[in-house]
Amino acid sequence: MSSKRVYIETFGCQMNVADTERAVTRLRASGYDILDSPESADILLFNTCSVRARAEQKVYNRIGETLKKAGKVEKIIGVMGCVAQLEGDSIFERAPKVNLVVGTRAVDRLPEIIGRVLDGEKRASDLGERRLDEGLDISPAERHSPYVAFVPIIEGCNKFCTYCIVPYSRGRERSRSATAILSEVNRLHADGYREVHLIGQNVNSYRPSNDVGLENFTGATPFSRLLRAVAGTGIARIKFTTSFPRDFHPDIMTAIEEQQNLCDWIHLPVQSGSDHILRRMRRGYNADYYKRLVDVIKQAKRPVAFTSDIIVGFPGETDEEFEQTLKLIEHCRYDAIYIFKYSERRGTPAAKLTDDVPSDVKAARFQALSSMQKTIQGRIHKSLIGKTLDVLVEGESAKSALDMTGHSTCHRVVNFSGGHSLAGRVVQVRVTDAKVNSLYGELMN
């Protein structure tokens, strides 16, 4: 094969988006062309997600569809990401057209793995470890946005919630060194990025192997020291996600109060309001503990937007237990929630429990939660009318070519009438109208 044109399709979370950016950086540096569509590519890569069984099936369907379209044209097919890490070489049996299996920690070696197939190996796989601080550079051209950058600070998870596959697909927690993170943020700042998202399955479990880079920063935990250190780079806006309740130290709120460039948004997934279900999920906290954290967040001098994830229909969840989740939502008055209907993930402890909540009950609980949240969210959004928000302008609104769109520091989508020259700037927008999922406003400066 003479040309080396690659197409990568990404499924799932921000960690996968960051891995794709890294893979593309590596591939381009090795002489590959990256295409926006699969038709004329020689190599098709699928960076996969396995958080839900459906997501995994979707990948196999997508591979089938793409190959059907390609007809008789020979292509190299690679599966990357969580499905690759979990299923390993068995993917070659399930999808015999696949030539490459590249685990979550092997992304940086992608050019070499492809090289093995180009050199004649029929099937190549790499499920080895990542060298955390090496080869993590992402070229600005490959970032998903020229203004907002994802910066992974920790990979993997040690929590082993019973329903979750991540500790198996991403491995145990491994924190990047503070020096590597700070030098990446400094570079992004110098390159004109306005916002960084410090990302990881549980960012507040951040525990680097040494203190280098954090010596001059105070804080009750390595994560709150890192927040102060990243704030010290002077980059305009810093967001972080996801936080794990059990590791959420109040000092995170103190850091947010102190440092203006730490954004006023916390994503703290609760999953359920029932102590019994939280125990069966092995989340390591109960509803009272979580409510105490909520009080700390709500009492902050600087108001902070607060979002969560909820699973409905976990095995054994009774009507009363679901009611407790509704009560918790009422108590927390989240700015947004992401609701998931429980679905079994093969290989997790919860898969041994009977998935006994009927699908119509899961759907009804989903609806009840969603409509309660819409009412809460609608009220919160209405209360923002007349207020002025700092918005990072990210581009044209999907709904109208006359409008621009961006996110506020509190991570709300804000649309307003304005020109394309504003893209990349932080502007002040006065909110004039509120929908459940977005705000509309007028440009102030």
Residues contributing to the site for ligand SF4 (CB under 6 A): 157, 159-161, 164, 166-167, 201-202, 244
Alpha helices, H only, 282-436: 287-298, 319-332, 359-383
CB of 153 to ligand SF4, least distance (A): 15
Q: For ligand SF4, which is the closer residue by CB, 196 or 278? A: 278
Query: Residues 245, 272: contact at Cβ < 8 Å?
Result: no
Q: Which helix (H) or strand (E) holds 189?
A: helix 178-190
Q: For ligand SF4, which is the closer residue by CB, 202 or 233? A: 202
DSSP at 153: -
CB of 351 to ligand SF4, least distance (A): 14
Q: For ligand SF4, which is the closer residue by CB, 102 or 268? A: 268
CB of 15 to ligand SF4, least distance (A): 10
Q: For ligand SF4, which is the closer residue by CB, 97 or 159? A: 159
Query: Residues 314, 163: contact at Cβ < 8 Å?
Result: yes
CB of 440 to ligand SF4, least distance (A): 34
From the list 396, 402, 401, the residue with the least C-alpha distance to 417 is 402
Q: For ligand SF4, which is the closer residue by CB, 182 or 270? A: 270
* Range 250-289 burial, b when 16+ CB lie within 10 A, else e: ebbbbbbeeeebbbbbbbbbbbbbbbbbbebbebebebee
Partnered with residue 155 across adjacent β-strands are 174
* Range 340-374 burial, b when 16+ CB lie within 10 A, else e: bbbbbbeebebeebebebeeebbeebbebbeeebe
CB of 328 to ligand SF4, least distance (A): 17
CB of 161 to ligand SF4, least distance (A): 3
Q: For ligand SF4, which is the closer residue by CB, 164 or 376? A: 164
Q: HSE on the CB side for 376, CA within 13 Å?
A: 20
Q: For ligand SF4, which is the closer residue by CB, 20 or 162? A: 162
Q: How far apart are CA 25 and CA 98, in angstroms?
A: 23
HEC string of 56-120 equals: HHHHHHHHHHHHHHHCCCCCEEEEEHHHHHHHCCHHHHHCCCCCEEECCCCHHHHHHHHHHHHCC
CB of 169 to ligand SF4, least distance (A): 9
Sheet containing strand 336-341, strands side by side: 265-267, 305-312, 336-341
Q: For ligand SF4, which is the closer residue by CB, 115 or 167? A: 167
> Would you tell me how many other CB atoms lie within 10 Å of the CB of residue 112?
13
Q: For ligand SF4, which is the closer residue by CB, 48 or 233? A: 48
CB of 200 to ligand SF4, least distance (A): 9
Q: For ligand SF4, which is the closer residue by CB, 244 or 334? A: 244
Q: How far apart are CA 443 and CA 389, in angstroms?
A: 10
CB of 150 to ligand SF4, least distance (A): 17
Contacts of 86 (CB under 8 A, 6+ apart): 50, 165, 168, 169, 347
CB of 271 to ligand SF4, least distance (A): 8
